[in-house]
Amino acid sequence: MSLHGNHGMEYVHRNMKKQRVHTIRELAEIAGVSHMTVSRVFRNHPSVKAETRERILALAKEYDFQPHPVLSMAMAIRANLRDQSSTPHATLAWVHSNKHEDTWQTLPHLKPYLDGVREHAAALGFGLDTFWIGKGGLSGKRFCDILTARGITGCIIAPPPGNLKHLHLRWDDFSWVTFHHDSWRPLLHRVATDANYSLGKTLRELRRLGYQRIGLAIAENLDVKSGFAYQGRYLVAKERYPSLTWCPPLFYPQSEICDAAPELRAWLKQYRPEVVVCNDVRARQMLESWGYDIPNDIGLVHLSMGPDTPHWSGMRLEGSQIGAACVDLLLSQMQQNKRGVPKAPYETLLRANWVKGETTRPHLSS
């Protein structure tokens, strides 16, 4: 009997079912469509009809076909670069659990992070869906169900107010990246500012400016979230440069410096620093309301400058740079098909730049 007859074709189809399909072209031949159609299905491209998508995905499951993650990612990026006006070929997720849904869209010191993620993802051919989970937002289960339904496999988690374990996320189903703090669990791959370098660079610049009495005043939880990098670096500087007067650091228990006004005022009165290294923009307004002339009476330095710290001296690293690095780190995990909570989390540290502003005095020799 000829293999080109109906019975022959059935024999070939039944025989192929016993073998695993390894390439898109093989799956396309079985489905009776072009290999580009199959490629679009696995890139979740909107041009494919729903019934065609479902049929191809069913065949892929039947023949145990799994698209190569590296090649799939490369195809998505290349396709978008060819046509910048096209609909994104794949989508990433951004999720946060802050008190308000629009926190990362509206607050000036947080918005650049989300903008950086969105812009860099778009440049590489990826869309971005944003989600709000926790109290007031989606449940962990509902959030993960939506990711699965939309074919989203990579997610960037904004630093949460607390831990996320209580949300019962399906960690093993997706690739995850976060940024900044490493104090919450589970530990994920993250991008962060090099806190140790930022304080070290700041102290070196203050010595060059001729300051002799240096003080550090930051929230205790900030030091904890940095892995005590600020406290450690400050103590190292104190040992290395004993000729300077190092005021005992003030680690106030409140989250915001305005709530620690009594502690700060007493600390300033007792130790009389010439310059204060801090991380809260409201410190300047507070000191000026107490009669300090900045920088003539006392200098101020911000460890993490942003849009809300114009004219300050301090360390600047744009939030958009952190966001872009998160996208790169996430794509590296997706390309290798690495999902779940990592056994050995990666930490990508970015170094900020020193900016001389009006809150520190000119060099003594100038």
* Mean pLDDT per 10-residue segment, the chain (366 residues): 42 51 85 85 74 88 72 56 59 92 90 96 92 89 93 91 67 94 81 96 96 97 90 96 96 94 97 97 96 97 93 96 96 88 94 97 68
User: Do 222 and 281 belong to one domain?
Assistant: yes
Of the candidates 69, 71, 83, which has an alpha carbon nearest to the alpha carbon of residue 125? 83
Query: What pLDDT score was predicted for residue 80?
Result: 54
Question: For 226, left (φ over 0), alpha (ψ -120 to 50), or beta?
Answer: alpha
Query: What pLDDT score was predicted for residue 8?
Result: 42
User: Do 222 and 305 belong to one domain?
Assistant: yes
> Which residues, including other chains, have CB under 8 Å from residue 263's CB and lie 6 or more apart?
250, 252
Residue 147 lies in a domain: yes
Number of domains comprising the chain: 3
Query: What pLDDT score was predicted for residue 227?
Result: 87
In which domain, by residue range, is 161 found? 90-193+321-350
User: Do 201 and 306 belong to one domain?
Assistant: yes
- Measured CA to CA, the distance from residue 294 to residue 82 in angstroms comes to 53
Query: What pLDDT score was predicted for residue 304?
Result: 93
User: Do 335 and 188 belong to one domain?
Assistant: yes
| Residues 288 and 294 sit within 8 Å (Cβ to Cβ) | yes
- Long-range CB pairs of 180-187 (<8 Å, 24+ gap) are 180/225, 180/322, 181/225, 181/226, 182/225, 182/227, 182/347, 183/224, 183/225, 183/227, 184/159, 184/160, 186/341, 187/341, 187/342, 187/345
User: Do 241 and 302 belong to one domain?
Assistant: yes
User: Do 173 and 218 belong to one domain?
Assistant: no
CATH code for the domain in which residue 151 is found? 3.40.50.2300
User: Do 223 and 289 belong to one domain?
Assistant: yes
User: Do 125 and 17 belong to one domain?
Assistant: no
Query: What pLDDT score was predicted for residue 58?
Result: 87
C-alpha pair distances (Å), 73 with each of 39, 149, 316: 11, 19, 33
User: Do 312 and 213 belong to one domain?
Assistant: yes
User: Do 200 and 297 belong to one domain?
Assistant: yes
